[in-house]
Every structure is written in C-alpha cells, then in structure tokens.
C-alpha cells in the first residue's frame, strides 16, 4: 500500500510541476513519519523513499536508531532550546528555527559535534497565536542575527499556513512565503541564495504548494494513512 501511495504522490508532484513549467526533480517529497513505527519507515524506504520528517524527539530517537543510517531526517516539530543537543545529534535538518536562542543552541551543539547543520526558518505566515514561527516582518532580523552562527547553514524557509477547507485556500500563504524568500535572497541571507529551500504543502494542498514554488512537500496521511493521535503531543503542532 505504501508503495502505491508513494507512486501516486510522485506522479501528482510531477504533474503539478510540469503544468506550471517547473522541473519535477527540483521538488523533494518528505514522508512525515510521526506515529509511524520503524517497520513502516523501512517499508517506505523499500519503495525508494529516503527523506523522513519527525515531530517529536523521543519518538524519533527510538526509530532512527533502528533504521538505515543513510536515511535523511528532518525535524519538523516545535523545538525547545534545552532539547537542541539531541536534535542536532539526531537530525540532518531542523526546519523549525524561529528564534535566536534556539538557533544559538543548535549552533553550539553542532559545533561540538563537528557538524554543519542545515536549518530552515519557520515563518508564521498566518499570524496564528497557537502556532510557532517568526512573523514575516521579523524574519529578516532573525536571519541577520543568525549570520555569525558558523555551524548552521540557513537553507530556506518553512511554513504551516492556516488550515483551509479547500487546497486553494493555502495559495495566498504559499505565495507570501515565496515572495519573502525572494526578498531575503536579494539581501544574501541564505547559505545559497540561488537555491533557497521552501518547505510548504501537506497531503491536502501539496499540488498548490508546488505551483507556488515549494521545493519540499511534507506528506504523511496520504502515504501512511490515518495515524493515532496522541493529544499530549499533537497539541503542539
């Protein structure tokens, strides 16, 4: 089932990219494996999936230790600064940097590991008080403050827009993140200003995200089906 689902997502991403004149190879599919056991991740890997996203450190640590070390792991949940050491050790990419204190903690621990850690800055495009993320007008200030952090590579931006009933409702939020990324790239605030990562789009609206410039879409339910909800964790994101 996972292989069939993955093929359908790949085909949909490819079709959406080609329809708007983009190269499908420039868009990465992340399998969001929150609440998916290690066996499910291994099954997705057997279908050719290599990039996975996790929301919770404890759950991720238990899985990552059981799986192929060649897999690429992204942290996509809310991260407390006092958990930065574990996150820097476990993950290749942290997508939810939204404040200087967290960035500095990740930089410190990455340096101790002798590691260059890729990060994305999370932007709260919808200004929702219950969600993490820097406000759009504060993103430039944060990126400038992060410049001295030599063990971090700021690859781009990530967002989780307000939940809409229809995929089209996400388009203005995706478009605003793209426009913000262009401005910040003009200011040379990314590690590679010619290849800025935009992580946006979920199972319900990833086609719209591709049309608006996503370089990574985060797909969970469409790949793995409905998963049990742990309210003590899921209230965070």
Record the pTM: 0.94
Positions of the chain with pLDDT under 50: 231-237
Instruction: Note the pLDDT tens digit of each residue in 147-186.
Output: 999 999 999 999 999 988 899 999 999 999 999 999 999 9
Instruction: Report the pLDDT value the prediction gives residue 164, as an integer from 0 to 100.
Output: 81
Q: With respect to residue 136, please indicate whether it lies within any of the assigned structural domains.
A: yes
Q: With respect to residue 90, please indicate whether it lies within any of the assigned structural domains.
A: yes
Identify the bridge partners of residue 29 per DSSP, sorted by sequence position: 217
Q: With respect to residue 52, please indicate whether it lies within any of the assigned structural domains.
A: yes
When divided into structural domains, the chain yields a total of 1
Q: With respect to residue 184, please indicate whether it lies within any of the assigned structural domains.
A: yes
Q: With respect to residue 235, please indicate whether it lies within any of the assigned structural domains.
A: no
Q: With respect to residue 77, please indicate whether it lies within any of the assigned structural domains.
A: yes
Q: With respect to residue 51, please indicate whether it lies within any of the assigned structural domains.
A: yes
Residue 48: phi, psi to the nearest 5?
Answer: 100, 5
How far CA 24 is from CA of 14, 96, 127, 166, 233, in Å, comes to 5, 25, 31, 24, 34
CATH number for the domain that contains residue 91: 3.20.20.10
What's the domain range around 139?
2-224
Instruction: Report the pLDDT value the prediction gives residue 227, as an integer from 0 to 100.
Output: 64
Instruction: Report the pLDDT value the prediction gives residue 228, as an integer from 0 to 100.
Output: 57
Instruction: Report the pLDDT value the prediction gives residue 163, as an integer from 0 to 100.
Output: 87
Q: With respect to residue 232, please indicate whether it lies within any of the assigned structural domains.
A: no
How far CA 187 is from CA of 131, 141, 148, 170, 191, in Å, comes to 27, 11, 16, 26, 11
Residue 88: phi, psi to the nearest 5?
Answer: -65, -30
């Amino acid at each position: 089932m996972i292989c069939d689902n993955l093929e359908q997502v790949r085909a949909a991403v490819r079709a959406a990219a080609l329809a708007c004149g983009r190269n499908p190879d420039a868009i990465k599919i992340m399998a969001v494996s929150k609440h998916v056991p290690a066996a499910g991740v291994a099954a997705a890997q057997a279908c050719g999936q290599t990039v996975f996203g996790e929301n919770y450190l404890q759950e991720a640590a238990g899985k990552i230790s059981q799986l192929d070390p060649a897999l690429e792991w992204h942290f996509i949940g809310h991260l407390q600064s006092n958990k930065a050491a574990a996150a820097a050790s476990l993950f290749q990419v942290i997508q939810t940097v939204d404040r200087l204190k967290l960035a500095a903690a990740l930089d410190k621990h990455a340096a101790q590991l002798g590691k260059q850690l890729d990060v994305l800055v999370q932007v709260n495009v919808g200004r929702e008080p219950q969600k993490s993320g820097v406000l759009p007008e504060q993103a430039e200030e944060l990126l400038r403050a992060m410049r001295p952090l030599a063990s971090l590579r700021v690859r781009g931006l990530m967002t989780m827009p307000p939940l809409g009933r229809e995929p089209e409702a996400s388009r203005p939020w995706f478009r605003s993140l793209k426009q913000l990324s262009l401005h910040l790239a003009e200011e040379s605030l990314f590690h590679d200003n010619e290849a800025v990562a935009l992580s946006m789009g979920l199972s319900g609206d990833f086609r719209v995200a591709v049309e608006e410039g996503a370089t990574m879409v985060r797909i969970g339910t469409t790949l793995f089906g409905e998963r049990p909800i742990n309210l003590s964790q899921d209230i965070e994101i």
